[in-house]
Structure 1
Amino acid sequence: MAELHDLTALEQWQALQSGEISPGGLVDHYLARIAELDPGLGAFVTVTPDAARARAATVETSVPRTAPLWGLPFGDKDLTMRAGVPAGFGSRLFSGFVPESSDELVETLDAAGGVSLGQTNAPEFGLSSYTESLVAAPARNPWNPELGAGGSSGGAAVAVAAGMLPFAPGSDGGGSIRIPAAACGLVGLKPSRGRVPSGSGIDKLAGLVVPGPLARTVADAALLLDGMVLPHGAPAGHRFALRAPGGDGPFLASAVRGEGRYQLGVMTSSAWDDAYDIDLAPEALAALERAVGEFAGLGHGIEQTALEPDDSYAPAFRTVWQAGAASIPAEGGEQEDMLEPLTRWLMRRGRELSARALSEALATLAVFERSLIRQLSRFDAVLTPALALTPRPIGWYDAEDGERNFAQQVRYTPFTSMVNVSGLPAIVLPVDETEERLPMGVQLIGRPGGEAALLALGAQLERRLHWERRRPPVR
């Protein structure tokens, strides 16, 4: 008989609906998994067993079963605030901070019937594409604990891949859902800007950051996305003041049906090519080739494409990345000394920027957004490698030299940040494995508001490759 954590999130939800399992029983199962596995993997920075059990009891008695996530456990990324639970933002600067109120995304997931088990590991202020901070153990890849899990939603990815959660929300400002999903063999979806009402991205610098799901299957990712998007008693406020095109779900139907034939572009160029030497590992190209072959076998149109040269993107994105760190609330030498070297370098560089430099960078990225959408517009979706390299070892990134660190991040993951700048949706799919049994994925970039097509394509590929059957050694 399958263990509960071997079931998909959708299967667990169905078992909850039928009464085969209870919210409390499911929470106890996952809390036991966390106690057993997390000390060696670093998925969580805070686990809240008492609050989780109390919440499960409340869900069972007081939340309608029609709520889309009824009784399903998840973890809050440690960049979000839940009232009464320590929120460290991956930083010594916030050691001991306990918020009195919750972020709107937290309230939305609660209204959807979910049960939080704690805070998942994230790098300092989510600024890096790896999850190795000074306040917690590194997030270790369940496929090989000597390797990193990616970031900044690294803890969430570890928890899902290792069977400590059925799925988890993450946030993505330059690839922070898709990078750890690819590294840990998961499905990771970055929604369109404006898709998730409690995290539209419009209030973020350059509109980069949006929340989205990490899951083992396409249907599970769609299930969690529906919990983030569909109205079900969450705070109303601006819930429908801003929408991405293409409808507001439910998206689960698209993932379950997996229907349609599409015209796909295939691309190995990136927005960083004019600024850095981007070398694609053989494993990354093999994963892309496998996905292309499978999609062609399914009858989809396939056409090679490439981006137009553009040397304006790299300096503009660097400027915005640095500017985003300028508002970190560290004043004076003592507080600055509590920051990690990379964060301190970013913050100082960001504070040195002029208003003119930031304004020009934002204008440049707005032009790039329109250009990228135009270039990809003849395709229903565009296929790229998810990562340029295989998952990186723990300690691989330079912790002291900000310039070198930035270059390392670009060379590892050159295909993700341009999607955030353009506000487009994208999904990472775990199509392949290396000879060492490490996951290798591909990315599908959709049209504005094109989540349904991405989920349908992902479901079709999943039915051929059955990545839901793969298990890392720790499971």
Structure 2
Amino acid sequence: MAELHELSALEQWSALQRRQVGVVELTEHYLARIEAQNPGVGAFVTVTADAARERARFVETEVAPEVPLWGLPFADKDLQLRAGVPTHFGSRLMEGFVPDRSDELVQALDDAGGVSLGKTATPEFGLPSYTETLAGPPARNPWNRDLGAGGSSGGAAVAVAARLLPFSPGSDGGGSVRIPAAACGLVGLKPSRGRIPAASGIDKLAGLPVAGPLARTVADAALLFDAMVTPRGGHPDHHFALRAPGEEGPFLASAIRGEGRFQLGVMTTSAWDDAYDIAISVEARQALAIAADALAGLGHGLQEAALVSDASYAPAFRTIWQAGAAGIPAEGDDQEQLLEPLTRWLLYRGRELSARQLAEALSALALYERSFIEQLSRFDAVLTPALALTPRPIGWYDAVDGERNFAQQVQYTPFTSMVNVSGLPAIVLPIHQTDDGLPMGVQLIGRPGGEHTLLALGAQLEQHFQWQNRVPPLA
């Protein structure tokens, strides 16, 4: 019989529902795996074992099993506040900070019946696309411990890939769910802006960051996604007049049925092509070609697509990235010196920006959003590489020169941030493995509110490639 962590999240949920395993038993199983394996991979920065056991006992005896995630373990990304649990934001600056309230997404996952086991690693304030920080050990890729896990949801991706969690929530402001999903061989879903009420992106600078699931299978991602959208079942409780268009859930149905034939674009251009030398590796092109061939064989229509040149994107996005660091709570030289060099550079540049520069950047990105959606509107979804390069070695990024560091991040991840700017949904799928066993994924970008289509396509490709059977060496 398979061990519990070898089962999919959906299979674990079914076992809980049938009382073949108890909530406390499942929690203890994962806590034991975390204790044994986390020191080697750096997935968790905080493990709340006693609180998890107490929560598991409460869920098992006091919570109705009809809630979407009843008894399933997860972990909070260390950017999310959970009352009474240290929240470090990946930074030495925040050492000792313990919030007295929980963020809304944390509350939503609790309402869905989940059991939090602790906090997963993130880079400093979630700003870079790799999870290496001076505040703790790096998040190591379970396929090769000398490689990074991507970011900023790197710890979450490592935890899921190493079978320390059945799935995990992440956040994505420029690719932070999809990048680590691709690097670690997982499914990563970035929803439409406005789709998840507790982390809609609508109330954030430029509407960039939203929450999304990381999982080993498309159905597992949909299971967690449904709980994020409607934690207590029924209809989503949207807090803004704007919400994602399209059909409501349950999204799990689309991920299980995998139905439909669609018109797809295939694209290797990105929003960064005017500003940086983007070189797509042989491995990334191979993964794209393998996915395109499979989709054509499944009966979908495929057509080449390309973005028109737009020199406004790069400087506008850089401005927003820097502006986002301006509010980091570091005042005076003593506190600023606790920040890492890249973060200090971003903070200084962000605080130098004028209101006019910020307004112009926001306007440019709003225009780009309209243009991007219009250019892709003839397709049901658009296929791109997930990453331009294979997973990067730990220590590959320049730790001192902010300009060079930013260029490296763009060259590794050119296909993700434009999806955040446009507010569109996108899913990363672990299509391929290189000759040396490293995962290489592809990205599908959907229409506004088009998560059902992405999950259906993902289910078809998962059935074709059977990636759920791949197990990394460090799992």
For residues 164 and 30 of structure 2, the distance between their equivalents in structure 1, rounded to whole angstroms, comes to 6
SS at match of 1:273: coil
Q: 1:233 to 1:7 in 2, by over 3 A?
A: closer
Letter in 1 for 2:244: A
For residues 248 and 53 of structure 2, the distance between their equivalents in structure 1, rounded to whole angstroms, comes to 32
Q: Gapped runs of 5+ residues in structure 1?
A: none
For residues 329 and 230 of structure 2, the distance between their equivalents in structure 1, rounded to whole angstroms, comes to 34
- Is the 8 Å Cα contact of residues 429 and 458 (structure 1) preserved in structure 2? yes
| Mapping 1:132-143, distance limit 5 Å | 132-143=132-143
2:328 corresponds in structure 1 to 328
Q: CA deviation at 1:239?
A: 4.5
Q: CA deviation at 1:281?
A: 0.5
For residues 280 and 417 of structure 2, the distance between their equivalents in structure 1, rounded to whole angstroms, comes to 17
Q: 1:27 to 1:345 in 2, by over 3 A?
A: same
For residues 88 and 230 of structure 2, the distance between their equivalents in structure 1, rounded to whole angstroms, comes to 29
- Is the 8 Å Cα contact of residues 107 and 235 (structure 1) preserved in structure 2? no
1:410 corresponds in structure 2 to 410
SS at match of 2:351: helix
1:314 corresponds in structure 2 to 314
Letter in 2 for 1:85: V
Q: CA deviation at 1:248?
A: 2.7
CA shift digits 1:302-338 (9 cap, x unpaired): 0001000101100000000000000111111111011
Q: 1:171 to 1:403 in 2, by over 3 A?
A: same
SS at match of 2:147: strand
1:361 corresponds in structure 2 to 361
| Mapping 1:23-42, distance limit 5 Å | 23-42=23-42
For residues 236 and 465 of structure 2, the distance between their equivalents in structure 1, rounded to whole angstroms, comes to 40
- Is the 8 Å Cα contact of residues 111 and 234 (structure 1) preserved in structure 2? no
2:108 corresponds in structure 1 to 108
2:12 corresponds in structure 1 to 12
- Is the 8 Å Cα contact of residues 141 and 149 (structure 2) preserved in structure 1? yes
CA shift digits 1:94-126 (9 cap, x unpaired): 101000000000000000000000000000000
Q: CA deviation at 1:474?
A: 1.6
SS at match of 2:74: strand
Q: CA deviation at 1:243?
A: 2.0
Letter in 2 for 1:43: A
Q: CA deviation at 1:389?
A: 0.1
Letter in 2 for 1:219: A
Q: CA deviation at 1:235?
A: 13
For residues 76 and 234 of structure 1, the distance between their equivalents in structure 2, rounded to whole angstroms, comes to 24
| Mapping 1:394-405, distance limit 5 Å | 394-405=394-405
- Is the 8 Å Cα contact of residues 90 and 121 (structure 1) preserved in structure 2? yes
For residues 240 and 415 of structure 1, the distance between their equivalents in structure 2, rounded to whole angstroms, comes to 29
- Is the 8 Å Cα contact of residues 230 and 248 (structure 1) preserved in structure 2? no
1:228 corresponds in structure 2 to 228
Letter in 2 for 1:397: Y
For residues 240 and 312 of structure 1, the distance between their equivalents in structure 2, rounded to whole angstroms, comes to 29
1:471 corresponds in structure 2 to 471
For residues 239 and 258 of structure 2, the distance between their equivalents in structure 1, rounded to whole angstroms, comes to 28
SS at match of 2:171: strand
CA shift digits 1:124-172 (9 cap, x unpaired): 0000000000111000000000000000000000000000000000000
| Mapping 1:69-148, distance limit 5 Å | 69-148=69-148
2:56 corresponds in structure 1 to 56
For residues 160 and 250 of structure 1, the distance between their equivalents in structure 2, rounded to whole angstroms, comes to 23
| Mapping 1:182-197, distance limit 5 Å | 182-197=182-197
Q: CA deviation at 1:64?
A: 1.1
Q: 1:348 to 1:290 in 2, by over 3 A?
A: same
2:212 corresponds in structure 1 to 212
For residues 231 and 50 of structure 2, the distance between their equivalents in structure 1, rounded to whole angstroms, comes to 28
Q: 1:458 to 1:27 in 2, by over 3 A?
A: same
Q: CA deviation at 1:85?
A: 0.4
Q: CA deviation at 1:202?
A: 0.8
For residues 65 and 130 of structure 1, the distance between their equivalents in structure 2, rounded to whole angstroms, comes to 37
Letter in 2 for 1:122: T
2:248 corresponds in structure 1 to 248
For residues 290 and 454 of structure 1, the distance between their equivalents in structure 2, rounded to whole angstroms, comes to 18
SS at match of 1:232: coil
Alignment of 1:373 with 2:370, yes or no, is no
CA shift digits 1:369-412 (9 cap, x unpaired): 00000000000000000000000000000010000000000000
SS at match of 1:324: helix
SS at match of 1:269: coil
For residues 248 and 91 of structure 2, the distance between their equivalents in structure 1, rounded to whole angstroms, comes to 35
For residues 193 and 236 of structure 1, the distance between their equivalents in structure 2, rounded to whole angstroms, comes to 14
2:266 corresponds in structure 1 to 266
Letter in 2 for 1:363: S
Q: CA deviation at 1:2?
A: 0.8
SS at match of 1:211: strand
For residues 326 and 135 of structure 1, the distance between their equivalents in structure 2, rounded to whole angstroms, comes to 20
CA shift digits 1:18-47 (9 cap, x unpaired): 000011000000001101110010000000
SS at match of 2:471: coil
Q: CA deviation at 1:242?
A: 3.9
Q: CA deviation at 1:185?
A: 0.1
- Is the 8 Å Cα contact of residues 260 and 456 (structure 2) preserved in structure 1? yes
For residues 303 and 247 of structure 2, the distance between their equivalents in structure 1, rounded to whole angstroms, comes to 28
- Is the 8 Å Cα contact of residues 81 and 87 (structure 2) preserved in structure 1? yes
Alignment of 1:301 with 2:280, yes or no, is no
Q: Gapped runs of 5+ residues in structure 2?
A: none
SS at match of 1:404: helix
TM superposition score normalised by structure 1: 0.99
- Is the 8 Å Cα contact of residues 313 and 365 (structure 1) preserved in structure 2? yes
Moved over 6 A (4+): 233-237
Q: 1:67 to 1:308 in 2, by over 3 A?
A: same
1:162 corresponds in structure 2 to 162
For residues 241 and 321 of structure 2, the distance between their equivalents in structure 1, rounded to whole angstroms, comes to 28
CA-atom RMSD in angstroms: 1.2
SS at match of 2:55: helix
